[in-house]
Chains A and B, each alone.
Chain A
Amino acid sequence: MNPLQELDLRLTRRSFLSRTTTGIGSLALASLLRPQAFSQSASDAQAGKWRGVVNPTHWAPRAKRVIYLCMAGGPSHLETLDYKPALAELHGKPMPESFTKGQQIAQLQGQKLNCLGPQHTFSLHGQSGQQISDALPHIGKIADDICIVRSLHTEQINHDPAHTFLNTGTAIPGRPSMGSWLLYGLGSECEELPGFIVLVSSGGGQDQPIAARQWHSGFLPSRFQGVQFQSKGDPVLYVSRPPGVRMQDQKDVIDRVKSLNSQLNATVDDPEIGTRISQYEMAFRMQSSVPDLMDISKEPEHVLERYGTKGGDGSFAANCLLARRLAERGVRFIQLYHRGWDHHGGVKRGVEVTAGHVDRASAALITDLKERGMLEDTLVIWGGEFGRTPMAQGDGRDHHIKGFSMWMAGGGIRPGTSHGATDELGYNAVDNVVSVHDLHATLLHQLGIDHKRLTFRFQGRDFRLTDVSGEVVKPILI
């Protein structure tokens, strides 16, 4: 990226400006604008490094990276993490109108609203005694490592806007997703791979489309956008050399590009050229680091066994294993989507089948990270874009935004705890309610960022991931 723009980024940040204009800053500001300062920032840029605008962090971070396991489609909290015996008693009977009157309803609009009792049994797990559905036996086994939040709510009731809201803090497209904010704020520790990587799998329900918008950098420069790893073809788009071109040939071409660019720079003196050269070097490194990442032949058999994958099949399990390998390499934000949770009908069987794709590998990831000592600085989040209605839609459930659940682990989150609750029928989040912006604030907090101070000026306004709200959920932190 252009050093001028890098400066622009810094200079447009309100907190930076206010810091600099009060203290030693005036000098720092002046020096930043001098060309001597360019050489410094240009050499940084030449090394391909973006060190982030929150540098140093606002406080000591508890987590260095995030693995977000996004259960796309909206898993039923009532069959996974939030047991409601009272709902079982009302099974088949009308949903009390006091819950539903004037509420936003998706496909059940205008239909008779009857209760559907929990379709799966729940058990108490671990020393913490957390209550988890029997459809998720492996997650049950890591109950003491996770914190279940049962009081989330969101604002968007359809998949596409709800994902956009969950990722960017608003349903209007064009805003950066949380991974992009993190890269902008902190940079990445990995110089051979992008700092924000997305993996998508499916199985178990009708696959909801996931737009590339979900990992877009919005108004932030595109170097902060997520890069989707494909399960078919090149894992990273265009990473493979053209046919008939060996690594050495590619290197020879890149070396000439570099040399000719340097010669041009002697004439036109363009700081962008330095950046361009470093980006070619990064691209070249990616051409070997990506195949190396994808090559799991050296993973021991028991690890593959634990995740339940042989790898390379684009399954959620394979992606979980890749997530760990990405985390090891210092990737900042790793987001997995599993598109199989939209159970409008047959929620009992549906949850069972989708859980079959997800449960074992989710738990394996936590255990694996823990064994490697990485769980303490990796924040793992597991959950969907919304929950599902306590009311029946045939033998399934409709979209529901007033109350749903997620679990989190690692990265300074208090393990073996539950936080918040929905009402007795699982309709409204009522105790210790957590909004999507609260979740964002908490995530940023764990990475050492004050969510109110990570801003970017666009269209004349300082935007942030949490828009104008968001409170850190303190009780779930260690």
Chain B
Amino acid sequence: MNFFPCSLVLMGAIALATPLLAVDGTDAQQKTGPIQFNRDIRPIFSDNCYACHGPDHNKRKAGLRLDRKDEAFKELESGGFAIVPGNPSQSQLYRLVTTSDEDDRMPPIKTGKHLSQSQKLTLRTWIQQGASWEEHWSYNPLKRPNQPAVKHSSWPSNPIDEFILSRLEAENLTPAGDASKVTLLRRLSFDLTGLPPSPEDAADFLSDPSDRAYERLVDRILSLPQYGERMAAHWLDLVRYADTDGFHADNYRSVYPYRDYVIAAFNQNMPFDRFTIEQIAGDLIPDGTQQQKIASTYNRLNRTTEEGGSQPKEYLAKYAADRVRTTSSVWLGATMGCAECHDHKFDPFTTKDFYSLAAFFADIKEVGVGKPAGTPLPTPAQEAELDRLGTAITAIEQELTGHTNHLAAAQKEWETGTLGALDQGHFDWVTIKPVQYSSEGNSTLVLREDLSIAVEGTPEDAPTHTILLATDRTAITGIRIETTPGSETGDAPFRLTGVEVEAMSGKSIAWERLKLVGATASSQKDKAAVAASIDGKSNTGWSPTDNLENGRHLAAFGFEKPVSGGAGTQFRVRLKQESKDPNQGRLQNFRLSLATVPHPDFNDHGLPVDIQKALRLPTDQRSEKEQQQLVRFHIDFDARTVELGNQLAAARGAKAEFEKSLPTTLATVSVEPRTMRVLNRGNWMDESGQEVLPAVPEFLAGKGPRNPTERQSRLDLASWLVSDANPTAARSFVNRLWKICFGYGLSRVLDDLGSQGEWPTHPELLDWLAFEFKSSGWNVKHVLKQIVLSHTYRQSSIASAALRERDPYNRLYARQSRFRLEAEMIRDSALAVSGLLATELGGRSVKPYQPEGYWQHLNFPKRTYQADKGDNLYRRGLYTFLCRTFPHPSLVAFDAPSREECTANRVISNNPLQALVLLNDPTYVEAARSLAQRTLQDSTGTFRDQLDRMFRFALTRSPTDREVQELADLHAEQLARYGQEPEAAARLIAVGEHPVLKNAEPAQLAAWTSVARVVLNLHEFITRY
């Protein structure tokens, strides 16, 4: 035990050194007050001990568990106690962390973990002070904390300030002075709307001298529709909203109505508990509204796959795990992802908890692999239109049924009449005399007496013959080609590669191309069926065999719709023989005839042969099939049926077309739940795991109501999440609101309030806000308003060197934070200050300019990015089409996430690609030119006056003398340059679709564009101070 005196010396030295250290989490906090378990001890345990002495029962060593009080203080398997309150030397835990025996020392050397002397000292002090235990802070029930006392009692504006100030006073620090009104206005605008203030906004606020001016500003900003857009952007990161499905081919899917729901929810200040329930279980709410169904799209925002060869079961397991990860991050402030394979190492979540939570979502109708089907979302007016279209269909269907019943009753009568007509030749093909005929080949066409056309000339070219027929007949149903083998035909017969027919009925004045159907022929070769002559391909066609039908080859083609015909009707027929093979035979002579019988076939009597045969049989000798054939033919033959059929097809088409035009979303549809079981090590193929029912995490459930008799639903889950049993929903939400207003959460790991997260810098304040949030009826605007009205929020962000030394990470809030704007805000700012921003709310996602070829590596199908036109080029970044595998590069440069996973905290980086975007992306070049136009349009006078205007648009302030000087120089240089090279000026100002200001002098506009480019590239422009 000789380590002890020695380490005491060391510890003393460190303890002395401590006040020199800056505020960096626990180290600095230790010097005030007694040891607190959650703040001082739990992080040491969590980082160093829980992997073997924590929640994961498979990895637990020596039966010791240090995350639960009862376990930590019980007698050890080996005898003795890990912790003996008041007596460090009797405590095995302390003995083993300080022993000099490397084999025994905890944590074991092989883990690579190591306790510092100050950590050991902390453990010792804690045990000495009685080893008081606290449950993990974020899982403790919410209570309203007492307001701390402060000395400087005039500083606080509201309770928030008392929590901040009391800590500052304890640290002997004083708050920063107030931010200037301009800074405050810009800060508030960016934080709550994501947009800079307009010069008019600024003038209003700056000229209002009243004490309540700021509060009025806050109220006004909270009531702007842009507030909802800004809050939605944050929420959409959490729920990983995107426009594509994410895996592999990453195709489009429509979920934008959900995005619009979120915007509206924030704008209406929907209580957060309702917001929660609608998203997780909107589809289960009795008599739920369409908006609630849209809200349930939350459950379908996970990535999905269409990749061939994927196993549905595997992907369903992936989707289930994805939902648990997201839901636990958003509402539990917990990272449950690791519990997919093993009990959580640091927090008391078990794998069973993981799959039990997943089981809540097992009722969601979905496919493991394939395109998910969307739910149409008609407005009431559209709903009425759908009804009307549906009624129209039903009416026609009814009439059709009635009519066909009537026809069936008159079947016998029809048969007799038809047979008579057949025998009298009424259905026979009628040969039509060509009125014009020509060939594109070297052949010459000659009309013969029998109305056939003889082809004379070179058989080896590839002739196409065009024949014009004239007729007065009506209701023409088909055309027939009749040919005889000519004497010059070689070894191979002809090959007809294309038959095209156009018609111009008597009253019409335009040719209509007819769709040919039901091709039949007297004979056809194996690989040259008659249908191949109307398949649109030039390398396939019809060739007959050597078998002749009465010395002829015959081919007939029906028209999809009968041609009404009548006096003056003409047909234009093109017969194509596109084979270049010189050995290929050619048509030698042919004749064309027309039919009026439905579905005509090639035989001379037009009526299909099997119908003729059936008609001639007495009824009792017909087979059932023959009888049916006759009935069907009768119906098809009937003009009224045909007409009704056409009407029905049109009505159905109209409805389908209308449905296609309706917006859709992937709303949740509940079906019989799938069986959910614990997957051992997350392996989806292992079916040996325990079957689980929906249940909330066990260690939290004890505090909430449960109904063990009935299977719980998502509605139960959602209600539980926002019940008193779950304090983490309120804590994690207000923590993120604080982040919006200060750049950091009060607990800095935004998605983990568990033991691996960070002890909050101001735990009582966090609880005060959470309590205020719940007790105000989950009122988001209320809490935000409290935060932004606080004096803490209104401080300057300029820190003295001494303060920066003491508190580099601004953990104490003796100043405001400053940070770069988020990706979308940068885009939005450029559009707003240049007057380009389209302020329309919601709607389908839009496609602004994007570099060519950026999507070239997407496949199944390949796609080309087609930028939008007009206003859609100037919508807020929130509406930019989000392709998960290739998100817009201009936003990605500024750290926009791909929304594949829940993102609670965006990284803020500062990299060269950002400079390239602001300098060269056409969006910013166009914005600079538009800002220049706006400046020139709205102001006259000196350069300074004009620059002043530009600065007020972009930065809400006037330029300094030096700024005026430098930019005047730039302007002069650029004006000279573009004056000499007007073509270069023209090219610069032509960037973007926005029209160039009429009457603008190109060199002047180009020079001012350069000045505006400087302004849009300023650090100040993209920073919130």
Interface residues of A (CB under 8 A from B): 1-2, 4-5, 7-8, 11, 14-15, 18, 21-22, 26, 29-30, 33-35, 48, 102, 104, 106-107, 109, 157-161, 172-174, 194, 200, 206-213, 216, 219-223, 227, 230-234, 236-246, 249-250, 252-254, 256-257, 259-261, 263-264, 268-270, 272-273, 275-276, 279-280, 282-284, 286-287, 339, 344, 398-399, 452-453, 459-461
Contacts and interface: CB of A to CB of B under 8 A. Distances in A.
Contact of B20 (A30, A240, A398): A30
B309 interface: yes
B1019 interface: yes
A4 B901 contact: no
Given A238-B920, A273-B1019, A5 B749 contact: no
A263 B1014 CA distance: 14
B960 A263 contact: yes
B247 A160 contact: yes
B916 A237 contact: yes
Nearest to B902: A174
Contacts of A244: 978, 983-989, 1006
Given A106-B311, A283-B916, A212 B910 contact: no
A232 B852 contact: yes
A263 to B, nearest CB: 6
Contacts of B801: 35
Nearest to B23: A33
B916 A236 contact: yes
A209 B249 contact: yes
A270 B250 contact: no
B963 interface: yes
Interface in B779-816: 797-799, 801, 804-805, 808-809
Nearest to A269: B798
B990 interface: yes
A339 B1017 contact: no
A282 B909 contact: no
B908 interface: yes
Given A104-B685, A244-B989, A253-B970, 18 more contacts: A1-B909, A18-B113, A35-B804, A35-B808, A172-B901, A173-B901, A208-B859, A223-B910, A227-B913, A230-B856, A242-B919, A242-B922, A244-B1006, A257-B1014, A264-B1020, A276-B910, A339-B857, A460-B749
Nearest to A282: B912
B148 interface: no
A252 B307 contact: no
B991 A242 contact: yes
22 contacts: A5-B909, A33-B24, A35-B801, A107-B309, A209-B250, A209-B860, A211-B885, A212-B886, A212-B887, A213-B898, A216-B898, A243-B991, A257-B1018, A259-B966, A263-B960, A264-B1018, A270-B1023, A272-B820, A276-B910, A279-B910, A286-B912, A460-B346
Contacts of A252: 970, 973-974, 1010
Given A104-B311, A234-B851, A273-B1019, A279 B914 contact: yes
A30 to B, nearest CB: 6
Contacts of B989: 244
Given A221-B907, A283-B919, A106 B798 contact: no
Contact of A242 (B24, B749, B920): B920
**B24, B854, B907 pick with most chain A CB within 10 angstroms:** B907
A18 B114 contact: yes
Given A221-B909, A227-B913, A160 B307 contact: yes
Contacts of B914: 279
Interface residues on B, range: 35 or more
A260 to B, nearest CB: 6
A172 B20 CA distance: 42
Contacts of B912: 48, 194, 279-280, 282-283, 286
B468 interface: no
B743 to A, nearest CB: 11
B17 interface: yes
Contacts of B303: 173
Contacts of B113: 18
Contacts of B895: 222
B386 interface: no
Interface of B: 14, 17, 20-22, 24, 112-114, 116, 118, 247-250, 303, 305, 307-311, 314, 335, 337-338, 346, 685, 749, 751-752, 754-757, 797-799, 801, 804-805, 808-809, 818, 820, 851-854, 856-860, 884-887, 889-890, 892-893, 895, 898, 900-901, 903, 907-917, 919-922, 925, 960, 962-963, 966-967, 970, 973-974, 977-978, 983-991, 1006, 1010, 1013-1014, 1017-1020, 1023, 1025
Given A244-B1006, A461-B756, A237 B17 contact: no
A250 B890 CA distance: 19
B106 to A, nearest CB: 15
Nearest to A175: B901
**A263, A283, A398 pick with most chain B CB within 10 angstroms:** A283
Nearest to B967: A256
**A221, A222, A240, A244 pick with most chain B CB within 10 angstroms:** A244
Contact of B988 (A222, A243, A276): A243
B808 to A, nearest CB: 6
Contacts of B974: 249, 252
A212 B808 CA distance: 35
Contacts of A273: 1019
B915 A279 contact: yes
A102 B685 contact: yes
A268 B910 contact: no
A206 B859 contact: yes
Given A7-B808, A158-B310, A263-B960, A460 B854 contact: no
A222 B17 CA distance: 36
**B801, B909, B991 pick with most chain A CB within 10 angstroms:** B909
Contacts of A172: 337, 901
B985 A233 contact: no
A173 B900 contact: yes
A256 B798 contact: no
A173 B892 CA distance: 16
Contacts of A460: 335, 346, 749, 752, 754-757
B289 to A, nearest CB: 34
Given A242-B925, A283-B919, A209 B798 contact: no
Given A212-B886, A232-B852, A243-B988, A253 B1010 contact: yes
B466 to A, nearest CB: 42
Given A5-B908, A172-B337, A459 B250 contact: no
A386 to B, nearest CB: 12
B909 A210 contact: no
A18 B109 CA distance: 13
Nearest to A234: B851
A273 B309 CA distance: 51
Nearest to B929: A242
**B752, B820, B887, B1014 pick with most chain A CB within 10 angstroms:** B1014
A209 B307 CA distance: 10
**B112, B335, B917 pick with most chain A CB within 10 angstroms:** B112
A102 B687 CA distance: 11
Nearest to B925: A242
Contact of B885 (A107, A212, A219, A261): A212
A22 B310 CA distance: 51
B808 A33 contact: yes
A341 to B, nearest CB: 14
B987 A243 contact: yes
B819 to A, nearest CB: 9
Given A209-B857, A272-B820, A459-B749, A106 B309 contact: yes
Contacts of B962: 263
Contact of A173 (B898, B913, B990): B898
A213 B885 contact: yes
Nearest to B1014: A256
Contact of A239 (B118, B749, B858, B920): B920
Contact of A264 (B685, B752, B1019): B1019
Nearest to A232: B853
